[in-house]
Amino acid sequence: MRDTPTAMSLKYQGCAVVFQEVPDEITLAFNIAGCPWHCEGCHSPNLWNDVGMSLIDNYAREIENHPGISCVCFMGGDWDLDEIITLGKWIRTHYDLKTCLYMGPAYADMHTMLSDMYGAFDYIKTGWYMQGKGPLSSPTTNQRFYKINEDRTVEDLTWRFQKKYE
């Protein structure tokens, strides 16, 4: 067994292989429990409760039980940013997988986001769900999906979620 980060408290309520949350990736998405944001119209209010399985005790088994994935995405966990950053860095380094974080609050500026997230995540979704603005697929969304490049530049890939209708 690999040495792993310890003393983490995040829980998850399940995971699944998904194809839409991270463009061009086969992604294992963990649904992180304990979300404090409680967005109006949230599609997963069950995740507001801090109830579930220990993420630190199970993430390795889940990754190893899903061969063929290219990315691991945490749907939440940003309320314990130090913990989720530590785990993101660990997975990138020890599993050679890309990582993604879907988080509620948006960063005020890109420089701060880059210094916090570089080395931990390849992709970041920021912004609370605002019912009147819609999800990433809506042209009026407040949410943004970014790719963090190796040269520390950031690409806004939000457009990849928005279908164009003629």
Give tens-digit pLDDT for 1-32: 345 565 578 999 999 999 999 999 999 999 99
**99 in a domain, yes or no?**
yes
Domain tally, the chain: 1
**108 in a domain, yes or no?**
yes
Q: What is the pLDDT, as a whole number, of residue 1?
A: 38
Question: For residue 26, how many other CB atoms are within 10 A of its CB?
Answer: 13
CA–CA separation, 161 vs 22, rounded Å?
9
Amino acid, res. 25 = E
CATH number of the domain at 133, please.
Answer: 3.20.20.70
Q: What is the pLDDT, as a whole number, of residue 6?
A: 57
Convert the pLDDT of each residue in 62-115 to its tens digit. 999 999 999 999 999 998 999 999 999 999 999 999 999 999 888 878 888 888
